[in-house]
Amino acid sequence: MIVCKTKEELKTRISLWKKEGKTIGFAPTMGYLHSGHISLIEQSKAKADKTIVSLFVNPTQFNDPEDYLKYPLDMEGDLKKCKEAGVDLVFIPTKEVVYPDGTPDLIMKQPALQKNLCGRTRPNHFEGVMLVVSKLFHLLNPDFAFFGLKDYQQFRIIEEMVHILDFPIQVIGVPTLRERDGLAMSSRNVRLTEKERENASLIPRMFTLAGKLLVGGEKNPKVFHEILADFLLSSPEVKIDYIESVDPHTLQEKLTLDGELVLAIAVFLGKTRLIDNQRFSKI
């Protein structure tokens, strides 16, 4: 496994692979890898000749400086997991390598896709995501890019960015991996206290309740969300950031619960913010 820390090392290796006609799969991560990240690697290895993983905690996508400073790190463990998973190259740049002139005076926006969900409650987050991902895409020139569907809004924004900017890249969404109790795997789960982790199990149980309500014929989003909110708030440990039902393609709020929809939530357990979503088809 090759480990690159500079743009020059990275470009040299990729240039060689491209000359050999190799296809490249890319899984961008912020490290502290878990089984969900490994599933991205597995998808890449099945699709591409070479697999690259980046480990970079991107400062421009954090609207809370404290959240950035507290993001969990385990570089040694991450490199070991990448090697065991069969990754061909790991890119571990510093902030100075990615942003040599400081934070660029460039703002990328997709107002329609950023209007709801995390775009409503995390200002400048997706601007930072698009900035770093576009830079990485230019550096790595991958054929395929893999993103977990746990952050469905991020997936759609990157997918649309690639379409708008004509990146020759296929963006592939990888299904969310879950713990035994159904909680979505996340690097943030490690921050939860034992009691908070116990209460986090309300999230997958809420999605089960949502499915039953939809099968039962509920069509009113307001009533639907109120029932789900009451269920989550049965624990005083839970604070709701948002509960929204949106169109899977446009991410606009559903006015009535019919057809395809993505039910997405963000909640706080203590100071830890967790996101999750589930896609439903209601006829």
Q: What is the rounded CA–CA span in Å between residue 57 and residue 46?
A: 26
Hey, what are 62's tokens? 């954090």
**Per-residue pLDDT tens digits for 224-255:** 999 999 999 999 999 999 999 999 999 999 99
Q: What is the rounded CA–CA span in Å between residue 21 and residue 49?
A: 9
pLDDT at 283 over 60: no
Q: Where are the alpha helices (DSSP H) in the chain?
A: 7-19, 35-47, 65-69, 75-85, 95-98, 111-114, 118-121, 125-140, 152-165, 194-200, 202-215, 221-232
- Tell me if residue 151 falls in helix, strand or coil: coil
**Per-residue pLDDT tens digits for 55-104:** 999 999 998 888 898 899 999 999 999 999 999 999 999 999 999 999 89
**Per-residue pLDDT tens digits for 104-115:** 999 999 999 999
Q: What is the rounded CA–CA span in Å between residue 189 and residue 167?
A: 33
Q: What is the rounded CA–CA span in Å between residue 202 and residue 271?
A: 17
Whether 188 has a binding-site annotation, put simply, is: yes
Whether 34 has a binding-site annotation, put simply, is: yes
Catalytic residues: 37
What pLDDT, on the 0 to 100 scale, is given for residue 64? 86
Whether 154 has a binding-site annotation, put simply, is: yes
Whether 192 has a binding-site annotation, put simply, is: no
pLDDT at 42 over 70: yes
Q: Are 250 and 159 in contact (CB under 8 A)?
A: no
Whether 239 has a binding-site annotation, put simply, is: no
Q: Are 74 and 56 in contact (CB under 8 A)?
A: no
Domains and CATH numbers, the chain: 2-174 (3.40.50.620), 187-282 (3.30.1300.10)
Q: Which pTM was predicted?
A: 0.96
What pLDDT, on the 0 to 100 scale, is given for residue 65? 86
**Per-residue pLDDT tens digits for 150-207:** 999 999 999 999 999 999 999 999 999 999 999 999 999 999 999 999 999 999 999 9
**Per-residue pLDDT tens digits for 251-282:** 999 999 999 999 999 999 999 999 999 999 96
- 222, with CB counted inside 10 A (0-12, 13-18, 19+), is exposed
